[in-house]
Amino acid sequence: MNILHLDSAITGEASVSRKLTAEIVARLLRADPQASVTYRDLNEGVPAIDTAWFNAVRLAPEDPSPEQQALIDVSNAYLKDVQDADVLVIGLPIYNFTLTAQLKNWLDQIARAGVSFRYTETGPEGLLKGKRAIIAYTSAGTPIGSEIDHASGYLRHILGFLGITDVEFVAADRLAMDREAGLARAQEALDRLAA
């Protein structure tokens, strides 16, 4: 089993989502000690897509410039992480009712027409099938699945669009309101996870 472990919280050691993703990965490794883990801390910086990215990656010139090749290499590396993974463990801290900019940038890097999804006569088809995603959702005040949660539904949707439909959430939400209750909910979800 290949595990892709992604964190994006800006709060360092104080991050609950980082603690939850680490615990999820530890449980997966206990169940399969031979599993490999690829770790990316998206907080270290994920380039946003822009016109230069579009011209290099999306338009795929036959003879890219060195600058274009560098953009292609970065996007390809993020995509290869996912292609090689059996399980994605994603930290989803909620900032301003949605996902982090770093996580959105990563999603933009891997959502590539003809590579991770394609359009068919019957609609879009995800090309990253057969993978499982476990999402560590954390928030100070935004209840998961509520009308002000603009992150969990989006992340489930975009992963499904890319073909990853086996998506589970471990949520420690409303931590600023009742930290102990939020952590207890997360623990219950952890205990329900199948390894």
Average of pLDDT values for 138-150?
Answer: 97
Q: For the chain, which residues make up each domain, given as ranges?
A: 2-192
**pLDDT in the model for residue 78:** 98
More confident residue, 156 or 190: 156
17 annotated among ligand-binding-site residues: yes
**Cα–Cα dist 70/75, whole Å:** 9
Q: State how far the Cα of 144 lies from the Cα of 131, in Å rounded to an integer.
A: 23
What 3-state class would DSSP assign to 122?
coil
Tokens of 142: 């935004």
Spatial distance between the Cα atoms of 39 and 6, rounded to a whole number of angstroms: 6
Where b means 16+ CB within 10 Å and e means fewer, 111-129 reads: bbeebbbeeeeeeeebebe
pLDDT over 70 at 138, yes or no: yes
Per-residue pLDDT averaged across 142-170, rounded?
Answer: 97
Two tokens at 43? 């907080």
Q: What is the pLDDT of residue 84?
A: 98
Mean pLDDT of the chain: 96
Tokens representing residue 192 in the block: 């329900």
For 7-46, the pLDDT digits (tens) are 999 999 999 999 999 999 999 999 999 999 999 999 999 9
Give dist(CA 67, CA 72) in Å, integer. 9
CATH 1.10.40.30 fits 2-192, yes or no: no
pLDDT of residue 5: 98
Q: What are phi and psi of 120, to 5 degrees?
A: -120, 175
Q: Where are the alpha helices (DSSP H) in 44-178?
A: 51-53, 66-84, 101-110, 152-161
pLDDT-derived band at 195, boundaries 50, 70, 90: low
Residue range 110-135, pLDDT digits in tens = 999 999 999 999 999 999 999 999 99
For the cut 80, the answer to whether the pLDDT of residue 49 exceeds it is yes
